[in-house]
């Protein structure tokens, strides 16, 4: 399968995928002048693949990932990301709140959400905001180091 790689709204390369046994192989080439991370965007979330490196006059990344560790759903596209990446959060207590699996970046926590899904903490409902990224809706909340909501 071959999908486009986006930098913002612009296509800047391609990512080829192939399943081999228990692994999925990713082979991507991109056009970029800066250090960026390449992520694969699935219906159920994102998986960081790594940082493309120069190879024979182009920026390239080859990596194999256990298929069991990939998010659910089909692969939608790939994207270049710069700055601090979102890190997977396996679920559990963050500060004083029990949260479902999702992602953490600095003081912001996000998890995939669909209208009608249960919220992890009804008392903090007014602090969550819905954001739409790569065909997925997330609920986000900004927390301090003690788990108290900010803003």
d(CA 81, CA 35): 9
Give the right CATH number for 2-81 from 3.30.70, 2.20.200, 2.60.40, 1.10.3470: 2.60.40
Q: H or E segment at 104?
A: strand 102-105
Contact 82, 38 (CB under 8 A): no
| Strand partners for 149 | 143
d(CA 94, CA 5): 33
Question: What is the model's pLDDT at position 49?
Answer: 93
Residue 68, SS3 per DSSP:
helix
Question: What is the model's pLDDT at position 19?
Answer: 94
Tell me, yes or no, if the pTM score tops 0.85.
Answer: no
* Rounded mean pLDDT, 55-73: 90
56: left (phi over 0), alpha (psi -120 to 50) or beta: left
Question: What is the model's pLDDT at position 44?
Answer: 86
Residue reference for tokens 């399968």: 1
Contact 121, 146 (CB under 8 A): no
**Domain coordinates of the chain in residue numbers?**
2-81, 87-142
């Amino acid at each position: 399968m071959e999908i486009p790689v986006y930098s913002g709204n612009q296509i800047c390369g391609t990512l080829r995928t192939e399943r081999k046994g228990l692994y999925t192989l990713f082979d991507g080439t991109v056009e970029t002048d800066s250090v960026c991370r390449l992520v694969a965007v699935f219906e159920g979330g994102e998986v960081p693949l790594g940082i493309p490196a120069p190879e024979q006059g182009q920026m390239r990344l080859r990596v194999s990932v256990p298929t069991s560790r990939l998010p659910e759903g089909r692969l939608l596209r790939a994207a270049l990301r710069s700055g601090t990446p979102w890190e997977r959060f396996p679920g559990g207590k963050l500060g004083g709140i029990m949260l479902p699996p999702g992602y953490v970046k600095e003081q912001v926590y996000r998890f995939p959400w669909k209208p009608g899904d249960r919220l992890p903490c009804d008392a903090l409902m007014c602090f969550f905001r819905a954001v739409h990224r790569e065909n997925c809706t997330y609920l986000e909340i900004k927390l301090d180091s003690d788990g108290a909501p900010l803003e």
